[in-house]
Structure formats: C-alpha cells, structure tokens
Structure 1
C-alpha cells in the first residue's frame, strides 16, 4: 500500500512536470539576432517556442533587414531576448502586444532598451551585469596601458617602418606609483582595482552616490568628484549612462584634471562630451585617453578623434571573449525561464 502511494505521488509529479512543460511551450520567446550562442538557445528551447531573427541585429543590417523581421515575428511573444546595441523602439513594443511580459537584454547597460516605455507598459527588464565584469576590467587595464604607453603612436611607427630610436623617444607614463580614480565602483570598477594591485598602484580613489563597503575592503578611498578629477593620474569611467551621468566628462570637468591625466572609458560613449575631449587632447590639456565606447558606434573612419596620436580606441570589445559572451547569453536565457515560470528574476533591473 505504501509503495503504491509513493508510486502515485511520483506519477503525479511526473505528470505535473509534463503538463508544465506543455504549458510553457505555448509561450513564444523572440531572440533578436542570429548570433545568439547555441548553449543559451537550448535553455530557451527546453521551455518555450523560440523564434529567432535570421539577421544580425547590429549596424545597418539591424536597422533594416532585422528590424522588419522582428516586427513580423514579435506579435504574440511573451518575452524578448535583446542581443543588440540598437534601441528597442516603441513601434516594436506596440507590435508585440499586451502579452509581452519581459525584455532580457544581453548586456550590462540597458539605456538602449527604452526603460521608461517598458515601465509604462509593466514589462519587466533584466540585464547581465556581473558576468562581464572580469572581461571588461581586462580591457580597461589594456586601455590604461595602451594610452599611457602611447600605443597609437608606436603602432603607427611599426606600420610606417620608421622607428623613433633614442633613449628619450616616445616615453610613456607608469601605472606604478600612480593614483587611479574610478567613477562608478560597481562590479567592473572593483574588478579593475583587483587587477591593478599587481601594478604597484600607489592609491585608489573612487566617487559615486555613497561610500561602499567593497571600496573599503579593496583599500579604495571615497572622495568627491572634484577631488578625484584633480588628484588622479588615471581616471576610469565605469558608470552607467543616466540623465545624471550623460556628458559628465565635459569642458568643465576636463579642465579640473591634471596635465598628465589619462582618461579611460569602458562605460558608455555618452558619458563623454567628445568635442570637449578632442579639444583637451589636441591642446595637450590632458595627456591621453583610451576608449572602448564612443558616440556613435562604429566611429566613422574619418572622425577627427581618430586623427589624434594621444587617443587609443577599441571597437567596444569589453565583453568580447568566448566565455563571457556565452555566460551573458545563458544568464539572459535563464532570466527569461525564471520570469515566465513564476520564479524570481536572477538579475532584475529596477525601473525608476
């Protein structure tokens, strides 16, 4: 009798699991781009009916071919996995219909996801904030070294076959003994501090809305923005883009920096007013800059910033490692699984 009862419980559980699977298979999830990793796609396919755009949702292809296909595919979808740097349009959300419950962006930043519109429609938003911190931190350190050691000028020498030989030629600056100031001591900022310890940096300072216990644990000192700008040899931007932080680096704030200051941006392009940065670099008001993010992206090849020898630019590759992009996609997929099956979201964005 006991065995029969236990068997009945097991069979009921199996039936419920099967029924749950059938129920979630009725839900449609749209993946916005054709380059979404297979491992993450399988996570979604285990639970839902998955639609995937056959085009790359970036640049011109994303603005034309992918846009039209996404508008055709999204009606009736319950979730949208957004693998793109293009903005989510009101038109796309209108096409989706009222059953769209969640947008899962495969990125840490989410300003391109139209958060105000999502909030107004009651659509939940998730992102992938912490999983990419190590890879972006490595790029931040690379940009510091590239700008400080004048990689742009030195690579140009190699390409021209005309090396400036001499004991005092093309000298750079040291991370050793420097003061590194971090604007935005979140996961990326903290990961940068951990990686720079081995470079014998003399002092880490940071600014933000409040002092953080993580900063104290890392030996970083909390200061106001003016102090950070005036005392730092390296200034790292790893803050999110908001109305408050947009163009926070401008003519006024650049004027407060040291003449040997090196500015590094791995946040968002619009944290920096680029005309002011161009003038500061051209006039040697600051020493150099390293950018992984710009406005626009891609930066046109004839953009005047690219004429500057003291600017080192990368094409927004902060999270571009095989492991990191896979983990980002899998986190985005698991956020959708949780969101559509009534479980707590793993990395929800609090829409204000």
Structure 2
C-alpha cells in the first residue's frame, strides 16, 4: 500500500504529479473545512508535503499524530514550526544548495544593476532621454568591499563570485565558519561600516526579524548599497524607505519584501532602487532540482527512516 501524505497546498505540476503517482495524497487546500478535516482524519497521515509559502504551524502538526516527516519545497522554512515538529518526533527537510548558484548570480546582478544604474538607464533610453542628454556618473563594482550577512551555502557562493570582481569580502554570522578564508566580523554594524555592498543572505524567521535596522543602514551610509535575496522580514522596510528618502543610504536591490507581493509605493519612484518579484531561485534548472529533491526526501524517509537534507 502507498504511504499516506497530506499535501498542504499545490507545489508545482511536476511535484504534484509525482506525489500522486507514488503516494496516497490528500490535498488539504481542497477541503472545505481543513481544521475539521484534520480533527477527523489527521491520524491517517504518515507524512506532509508543503510549499515554502504555506504555513505549517504547531496546531496543524499536532493534528497529525502518526506523521513523522515534513518535506518542504524551498530553502526557507520559516513558515514551518520546526521546534514543534521536533517535539512531535517529525523530521523536517528542505531543498538547500540546489538554489545557491542561481541566488548568488542574482545577488551579484542586483549589485551591478544598482551600482551601474542598468535598469534605470534602460528606462531612460526607452523613454527617449538619451537624445537630449546622458545619465549621471555611477559607481564601479570591482575592487569594492562586500559584506555578507549570513555565510551558508548562498553567502559562500556570493563570496566566490565577488572574488571574481576583485572584491574584498567579510561576513557576519552567529559563529565563524571553519576554514573560511574570509574574515568573520562579530558586529553587523561594524561590517556595514566597512562594506560598500551589504548582501543579506541569512535565514528568515523571528530570530532575524529586522536584523537590518536603521543603525545598520546608517552604518552602510550614503554611498552604500543594500542587497536582499533572503527574506523580506530581515530588513526593517519602513526604516529602509526612510533611509533612502533621506539620502542616508545609497541604494538597494531587493528581491524580497516584508509583505509580498506588496512593495512600498515610495520605492517604485526611486532610481536607486531595483525591485524584483522573489525570482532569485526562479530558473528552469533550479526549479527542476528542487522538484526532485522534495520528492527524494520523502522517498528516502520511507525507505531508510531518514531524510536526505534535514533542517
């Protein structure tokens, strides 16, 4: 008999099809009263499949007494109550590393775009502005200082790319990374003072909420550029708008926001801000790798009792 899986929401057509082929899947989002359904049928399920956008909190997990694995489609897992899952004896997996390269590529792309005004100049040319003048001088990227908030797989991938631009790299994390050649900076504020670019590449969640605050932005300064390819909650968005409006921060390249898909209206008119729609890992290659890994984690658990990429 197939193992019974509760799927919290649709993932992708490929994942949905593979899960339906290999497991006895129940789509929770199609239930008219999910809480009532779980109260009556929750004990049936042996595992959970969830997309990173969907909440998977303690009440839901507690309604699944026989589920022992939660397979998350995504690197981030801030919407899963991991502590509750561990307390209930559940293994939680995510899809790390498969996105590192694509996310790092985009981080560098945003840094170059903001510093050199690529998007702004594209709009300038399309609007006919070049016929009557030229854009102002911008700033170079190579040879500058790059600070990284977070030095996991994505942060280290950004560091490798920055080295190709002859940039000096330092990072801030809870503890130094063993054998990393880059310097660990214990203070985020001190890192921001040193950096020309500050790239946010740490996990989201309550522990990092508004870690990049007004003090950090002021330390980065009127020539500094903030890049966020992690989670919108890490940056105090209201403080960011104020810093940009006051000229206390040089610019920002943002792929994520606090209240997606809503972007602060004030940012849309700023030439020193590039705004994207959470596309850092949104490539055909990384999507295919994620699709395989979320299903492989479930398969591995039911085959061996252990997921491949535990949180």
Shared fold per TM-score greater than 0.5: yes
Please report how far the alpha carbon of residue 115 of structure 1 lies from its aligned counterpart in structure 2 after TM superposition.
2.2
Match of 2:24 among 41, 49, 52: 49
Structure 1 Cα separation of the partners of residues 307 and 115 of structure 2: 41
Change (3 A) 1:67 1:160: farther
Change (3 A) 1:164 1:79: farther
Please report how far the alpha carbon of residue 40 of structure 1 lies from its aligned counterpart in structure 2 after TM superposition.
7.8
Match of 2:142 among 161, 169, 176: 176
Show the counterpart of 1:334.
296
Structure 2 Cα separation of the partners of residues 124 and 43 of structure 1: 18
Question: CA offsets, 1:207-254, max 9 Å, x none?
Answer: 1122223521xxx22223233111101100101124332101111221
Please report how far the alpha carbon of residue 163 of structure 1 lies from its aligned counterpart in structure 2 after TM superposition.
3.0
Contact in 1 for aligned 2:11/2:73 (Cα 8 Å)? no
Please report how far the alpha carbon of residue 281 of structure 1 lies from its aligned counterpart in structure 2 after TM superposition.
0.8
Please report how far the alpha carbon of residue 102 of structure 1 lies from its aligned counterpart in structure 2 after TM superposition.
1.4
Contact in 1 for aligned 2:14/2:291 (Cα 8 Å)? no
Show the counterpart of 1:345.
307
Contact in 2 for aligned 1:193/1:204 (Cα 8 Å)? yes
Match of 2:173 among 196, 205, 208: 208
Match of 2:259 among 296, 304, 314: 296
Show the counterpart of 2:45.
77
Structure 2 Cα separation of the partners of residues 312 and 194 of structure 1: 23
Structure 1 Cα separation of the partners of residues 64 and 18 of structure 2: 25
Please report how far the alpha carbon of residue 206 of structure 1 lies from its aligned counterpart in structure 2 after TM superposition.
0.9
Structure 1 Cα separation of the partners of residues 302 and 45 of structure 2: 11
Show the counterpart of 1:139.
106
Aligned length: 306
Contact in 2 for aligned 1:292/1:313 (Cα 8 Å)? yes
Q: Secondary structure at the match of 2:112?
A: helix
Runs of 4 or more consecutive aligned structure 1 residues displaced over 4 Å after TM superposition: 65-74, 164-167
Q: List alignment gaps of at least 5 residues for structure 2.
A: none
| TM-score in terms of structure 1 length | 0.78
Question: CA offsets, 1:248-269, max 9 Å, x none?
Answer: 1111221211321100011110
Map residues 143-154 of structure 1 onto 2, 5 A cutoff: 143-154=110-121
Please report how far the alpha carbon of residue 41 of structure 1 lies from its aligned counterpart in structure 2 after TM superposition.
4.3
Please report how far the alpha carbon of residue 276 of structure 1 lies from its aligned counterpart in structure 2 after TM superposition.
0.6
Q: Secondary structure at the match of 2:130?
A: coil
| TM-score in terms of structure 2 length | 0.88
Q: Secondary structure at the match of 1:170?
A: coil
Contact in 2 for aligned 1:136/1:266 (Cα 8 Å)? yes
Contact in 2 for aligned 1:28/1:78 (Cα 8 Å)? yes
Please report how far the alpha carbon of residue 145 of structure 1 lies from its aligned counterpart in structure 2 after TM superposition.
1.2
Change (3 A) 1:268 1:67: farther
Q: List alignment gaps of at least 5 residues for structure 1.
A: 1-21, 54-64
Match of 2:248 among 272, 277, 285: 285
Please report how far the alpha carbon of residue 35 of structure 1 lies from its aligned counterpart in structure 2 after TM superposition.
4.6
